[in-house]
Amino acid sequence: TPSSSDVQLTEDAVRRYLIRKPMTTKDLLKKFQTKRTGLSSEQTVNVLAQILKRLNPERKSINEKMHFYLTE
């Protein structure tokens, strides 16, 4: 069956982005836009929150904005 989405919001995908570079919540949301994942806005927020709670990334402030990041 063909997939309706070309991007999947998964823990692995979020981990890969946060290892590559620090990102704000908005940066992450841009990577998992609802039109790409097929999820609703509410689902996106809920799933991303659960993933970030599990990953428990480091945080740092860059240009006065809070960024998450992970080290390998």
Partner 1 sequence: SSSEADEMAAALEAELNDFM
Nearest Cα neighbor of 33 from 5, 65, 61, 52 is 5
When the beta carbons of 10 and 46 are compared against partner 1, the nearer one is 46
Binding flag, residue 62, partner 1 (CB under 8 A)? no
Nearer to partner 1, 2 or 64 (CB): 64
Near partner 1 in 9-28, by CB under 8 A: 24-26
Rounded Cα distance, 49 and 42, in Å: 11
Q: What angle do CA 10, 11, 12 make, to 5 degrees?
A: 90
Interface with partner 1 by CB under 8 A: which residues? 24-26, 29-30, 41, 44-46, 48-49, 52-53, 59
